[in-house]
Copies of this chain bind each other. A is one copy, B any other.
Amino acid sequence: MARAGLTAERLTQAAAELADEVGFENVTVSALARRFGVKDASLYSHIRNAHDLRVRLAVLALAELADRVSSELAGRSGKDALVAFANAYRSYAHEHPGRYAATQMALDPDTAALSAAGKHAEMTRAVLRGYDLWEPDQTDAVRLLHSTFHGYVSLERAGAFHSHPRGVEASWTRALDALDSLLRSWPS
């Protein structure tokens, strides 16, 4: 019987595609095995368990997102950089809802440290170099930006903004204007 050629990497990649198709919460070992035409038990030589699979997926998505943000950020500064960062973040979430959901998993500290999570914080700090902010305000601003981006995207995806006719796109643009204005005159 021909082998399917499974590896942890291929499984993780397929899990990512699966997540975007059926939702992160529906990424199961069984569904993944089905996709490879293989029995469930076969996957356990490559991944420890279902949780391990989801963690690998989260790490993959964090790295992808960091890459996208990083390349959008290159050569920009100030409000330009802020907008590029925010839009890269949001477009990734829209194009890859399952992967994005994965990035919101609670990772244990060791895994988080090894993941691209640190790169995200570093890039946010890079955006802030275009504004006149120093510690501890810089950390506060990093947290505020991250919160706002994540909050907006996740509420948007949950449908929380559908109840009002005002365009979601327009509110987003205004939010970025507001954040830029806020960063330029950060209260002391």
Q: Which residues of chain B have C-beta atoms less than 8 A from A139's C-beta?
A: 164, 166, 171
Set of chain B residues within 8 Å of A174, measured between Cβ atoms? 137, 140, 144
Assess whether B175 is in contact with A140, with CB atoms less than 8 Å apart: yes
Complex CA distance for A165 and B148, rounded to whole angstroms: 21
Q: Which of A139-179 contact B (CB under 8 A)?
A: 139-141, 143-144, 146-152, 154-155, 157-164, 166, 170-171, 174-175, 177-178
A187 within 8 A of B: yes
The reply to whether the CB of A109 lies closer than 8 angstroms to some CB of chain B is yes
Contacts of A105 in B (CB 8 A): 158
Q: Which of A96-118 contact B (CB under 8 A)?
A: 104-107, 109, 112-113, 117-118
On chain B, the residues within 8 Å of A104 by CB distance are 154, 158
Q: Is the CB of B109 within 8 A of A162?
A: yes
The reply on A44 being an interface residue by CB < 8 A is no
Question: Does A186 interact with chain B (Cβ within 8 Å)?
Answer: yes
A120 closest partner in B (C-beta): B160
Which residues from chain B contact A121 at a C-beta distance below 8 Å?
163-164
Determine if A37 is an interface residue (Cβ-Cβ < 8 Å): no
- List, in ascending order, chain B residues with CB within 8 A of A171's CB: 136, 139-140, 143-144
Q: In whole angstroms, what is the CA distance A53 to B29 when docked?
A: 25
Find chain B residues with CB under 8 A from A112 CB: 159, 163
| Residues on B with beta carbons closer than 8 Å to the beta carbon of A143 | 152, 155, 161, 171, 175
Asked if A150 contacts B144 (CB within 8 A), the reply is no
CB <8 Å contact, B185 and A185: yes
- Residues of A at under 8 Å CB distance from B? 25, 104-107, 109, 112-113, 117-118, 121, 135-137, 139-141, 143-144, 146-152, 154-155, 157-164, 166, 170-171, 174-175, 177-178, 181-182, 185-187
